[in-house]
Amino acid sequence: MSGPLASLKVLDFSTLLPGPFATLLLADMGAEVLRVESPTRPDMVRLLPPSEDNVSAVHGYINRSKRSLALDLKTPEGREVVHRLVKDYDIVVEQFRPGVMDKLGVGYETLKAINPGLIYCSITGYGQDGPYRDRAGHDLNYLSIAGMTSYNGRRDSGPAPMAFQVADVAGGPCHAVMGLLAAVIHRQNTGEGQQLDISMTDAAFSLHGLAAPPALVAGEDPALEATTLNGGSFYDCYRTRDGRYLSVAGLEPQFFSQFCAALGQPDLAAKGLSRDPADVAEVKAIIAEAIGAQDYDHWCRLFADLDCCVEPVLSFSEAARHPQLQARGMVVEVPRHDGGRQRQVASPFKFSATPVGYRFSGARLGQHGEEVLREQGFADDDIARLRDAGALG
């Protein structure tokens, strides 16, 4: 594998989306990732339709370039395999509820005693401590507890779910990777490993970049359609005559004045930055009426050569065909295990000296078990013993 992280080896005990998305980022950047999966409790992502090569397309993407070892950690033999593997690995990623890995005999203190330089990352909904540490949750719950859902939506319909999993993707995984790489640098300087506690609720709470300072300093909580960026200004999406939408985001005066001129409403620019609710309502009504008077294609042609922060709202499939994303190579074809190829979203990282790579789409459960064990020095008799004990799937 190429990539700047080609020297790192990662044991991944996570399932579903947050942990696997974190290790996807690491694998794309060259880390050697080994998924340690239960042979009896399959990752639910493996069952999501549609499928190619009898493998879920979502699994194929989220777990690309990662090898799979099916291991029952409830057996002494399974735990022994992990204790042996961890001597040769740099990082562990897990997302069980707090205490579960300890009960399985593969918690941080146990593995740290075997490999003192180990970096051990635990991703959970609420963190390793606090009154919610053992509470179940999903992305919408974490965002709600973090105060983010309260100002996402419309006044007339109330808060709404986010369009994608902010805590599960932009929160937990991305913060986990940042923390892991910081811990790697610390270990390079000191030789010391450590445990990293990532709460997806904490991570979501930290994303209130513009809303937190007014709330914490002046007690001004953000509300539905009350901030510049959540519908409380002309910064919004507007429906065309044929039912498509345009995003209008030219907050700076030079952009908004150009936009107003293109609409045939040059005088509207004077009210564009007003925070008065009556002015905002008037501006938005005029924009909505103007855009609603013409079809989507008309506006796409008009704004194609104007630099005023107006873009069409595209479906995912349209986005994948957009010339900008095509020029950036953001859709790639990754080898499947049947010899075919699967179209997937590419890594967003562009390194000049250490490009990212894609080895294969997500593996079948336990596909690399014997291969991995032999690399670690397990003999055929050892592997047979593990199978007989029910430890190896």
Assign residue 16 the CATH number of its domain.
3.40.50.10540
Shared-domain flag, residues 188 and 277: no
Q: 42 falls in which pLDDT band (50, 70, 90)?
A: confident
Domain membership of residue 346 (yes or no) is yes
131, 89: one domain: yes
User: Which amino acid does the sequence have at 365?
Assistant: L
Nearest to 139 by CA among 171, 115, 114, 116: 171
pLDDT tens digits, one per residue of 158-208: 999 999 999 999 999 999 999 999 999 999 999 999 999 999 999 999 999
Q: Are residues 336 and 290 in the same domain?
A: no
Residues 251 and 340 in one domain: no
One domain for residues 380 and 294: no
Domain boundary among 280, 312, 344: 312
Model confidence at 8: pLDDT above 80: yes
Both 170 and 288 in a single domain?
Answer: no
Average pLDDT, the chain: 96
For residue 214, being part of any structural domain is answered with no
> What are the residues whose beta carbons fall under 8 Å from the beta carbon of 87, sequence distance 6 or more?
114, 115
- pLDDT bracket for residue 52 (50, 70, 90): confident
Q: What is the mean pLDDT of residues 120-146?
A: 98
Q: Are residues 17 and 108 in the same domain?
A: yes
What average pLDDT does range 334-341 have in this prediction?
A: 94
- Judged by DSSP in three states, 324 sits in helix
* Average pLDDT of span 13-24: 98
Selected residue with higher pLDDT from 273 and 380: 380
Domain span at residue 44 reads 9-207+326-388
Q: Is residue 192 situated within a structural domain?
A: yes
Which of 261, 277, 312 finishes a domain? 312
Asked if the structure places residue 4 within a domain, the reply is no
pTM, two decimals, is 0.95
**CB contact at 8 A, 129 and 201:** no
Q: 139 in a domain, yes or no?
A: yes
What is the number of domains present in the chain? 2
Q: Does residue 53 have a pLDDT over 90?
A: no
- Do 307 and 330 reside in the same domain of the chain? no
pLDDT at position 1:
63
Q: Is the pLDDT of residue 28 over 80?
A: yes
pLDDT at 275: 85
Residues 268 and 343 in one domain: no
Q: How many CA atoms lie within 13 A of 225 on its CB side?
A: 17
Within this chain, do residues 365 and 251 fall inside the same structural domain, yes or no?
Answer: no
Tell me whether residue 212 is in a domain: no
Q: Is residue 336 part of a domain?
A: yes
Give me the active site residues, please.
138, 168
The residue among 43, 103, 109, 47 whose CA lies nearest residue 79 is 103
Where does a domain end: 290, 312, 334?
312
Task: State residue 124 phi and psi, 5-degree precision.
Answer: -135, 170
Please state, for a pLDDT cut of 90, what percent of the chain lies above it. 96
* 200 domain residue, yes or no: yes
